[in-house]
Each structure stands twice: as structure tokens, then as C-alpha cells.
Amino acid sequence: MDIDRRMLPYRGITPVAYLAGLVALILMLVWLLHYREGLEYDSDNPYRVFNVHPFLMLFGLVYIAGHAIMAYKMVPGSHNVQKFVHMLQNLVAICLGIIGICAVFKFHDMLKIEDMYSLHSWIGISTICLFCFQWVFGFVTFMFPRASTHTRVRARPWHAALGRALLYMAICAALTGLMEKATLLKQNNQASQRELHLVNFTGLSILLFGIFVDLSVA
């Protein structure tokens, strides 16, 4: 059986990316459910509302968006099928990201906290806005009504490069958010050393996921 030589560089890397992403999600859930009172968008407990934010941002703009980047390499079927899966996954990622953003704004309203005061929030809101722009641009250019062949050929590398950059922006937002939360908990003596180590391992898993996703399609 012949093996497509183009698949050789990432045949072993992509499963590692999947594993790193899954580990990050599991660690995030352990942190939120075991240490941080759980998560519930409609809760009267503002901290349970807040916890929806980190989980959905990780699940949407990092995990699912990373899978969307790898769709052209790993989804079986024609190019059109891969393109449809890619666009659908990114749309789901954006929807989850918007709900996650709404959760943190709701949390701020419940506790009368100022919005958009940190570097994390600036990176995060920039990322979700660029994600929306990227999706609309990709849909119009490559799906419907579709640009000319010449325009699509010229736009494709820029579209791909921005997609990879957005994944790293989302990862940067996730890591700065974890650092901000861990620092606050430590300053207020609200977290054990074990919990802080769990947060650090979660951050490392998120970073490794991004690196391996990028390597799998580079």
C-alpha cells in the first residue's frame, strides 16, 4: 500500500496534538469542578457564572479552532468536504467564544467590576473580533459567493497564516487569563499549592496543543 509522502511529516504529530488538547480540557474541568465550585451560566453564584468563561474559551477558540486548522490534513473526503468541516468547526468555535465572553461580562455586572481593564481582556476581545472577521472573509472568498480563482489562490496563504496567528492569540489570551486568575487567588490565599500547580499544568498543555497543531500543518 502506497503512503502519501505529504502525510509523513505530521502522521505522528497530529495524535500528540489531539492528546495535548484533550489533557488541557480535562485539567480545566478538574480545576473548575473540583476547586472552583463548578460552572453554570444561569447561576446566582457569580463565580460559577465566571467559570463558564475559561472553559468555553478553551473549548471553542483553542481546542475546536485547532481541530479546524487540522481539518484539511485529517478529515477524510474531498477538498469541499474538508472545507465545509473547517468552516463549521470555526463557526462553532466562534459561537462558544461569544457565549464565553458574555459569561465574563455577566460576572462583572454581578460583582460591579470594571470591564476590559487587563491585558488578558484586550487580547481576548481582539481575538474574538478577528476570528469573526476571518470567518466572514473565508466564507465569502472560499464558500459563497466565492471569489475568482486568481483571488482565492492569492488569498489562501494569507488566510491560513492569519488562522494560525489567531490560534496563538487565543492561546496567549488563555495563558494570560490563567496567570491573572492564579495570581489573584495566591494573593488572597484562596488556592492551595496543588491547585496552582494544576493551573500551571493546564497552561502548559494548552501551549503544547498549539505548538503541535502548528507543527502538524506547517
Q: Is residue 139 one of the residues assigned to a domain?
A: yes
**Confidence label for 136 from pLDDT (cuts 50, 70 and 90):** very high
Q: What is the CA radius of gyration of the chain?
A: 19
**Confidence label for 6 from pLDDT (cuts 50, 70 and 90):** low
Residue 139 predicted with pLDDT over 90: yes
Query: What is the number of other CB atoms lying within 10 angstroms of the CB of residue 44?
Result: 8
CATH of the domain at 143: 1.20.120.1770
Please tell me the predicted confidence (pLDDT) of residue 72: 87
Side-chain-side CA neighbours of 7 within 13 Å: the count stands at: 10
Residue 41 domain boundaries: 8-217
Sign of the C-alpha dihedral, residues 29, 130, 173, 105?
Answer: negative
Q: Is residue 166 one of the residues assigned to a domain?
A: yes
**Confidence label for 9 from pLDDT (cuts 50, 70 and 90):** low
**Confidence label for 58 from pLDDT (cuts 50, 70 and 90):** very high
Query: Do the beta carbons of residue 217 and residue 70 sit within 8 Å?
Result: yes
Averaged pLDDT, 74-78:
87
Mean pLDDT, the chain, rounded, equals 93
| Helix H or strand E encompassing 152 | helix 149-187
Structurally, the chain folds into a number of domains equal to 1
Q: Is residue 1 one of the residues assigned to a domain?
A: no
**Confidence label for 27 from pLDDT (cuts 50, 70 and 90):** very high
What pTM, to 2 d.p., does this model score? 0.92
Q: Is residue 2 one of the residues assigned to a domain?
A: no
Percent of the chain whose pLDDT exceeds 90: 85
Residue 3 predicted with pLDDT over 80: no
Residue 2 predicted with pLDDT over 60: no
Least confident of 23-27, 62-66, 123-127, 142-146: 142-146
**Confidence label for 75 from pLDDT (cuts 50, 70 and 90):** confident
Our CA angle for 48, 88, 172, nearest 5°, is: 50
Please tell me the predicted confidence (pLDDT) of residue 212: 95
Q: Is residue 143 one of the residues assigned to a domain?
A: yes
Sign of the C-alpha dihedral, residues 194, 116, 26, 202?
Answer: negative
Residue 10 predicted with pLDDT over 60: no
Q: Is residue 201 one of the residues assigned to a domain?
A: yes
Q: Is residue 3 one of the residues assigned to a domain?
A: no
Q: Hey, what's the cell of 184?
A: 489573584
Averaged pLDDT, 168-181:
97
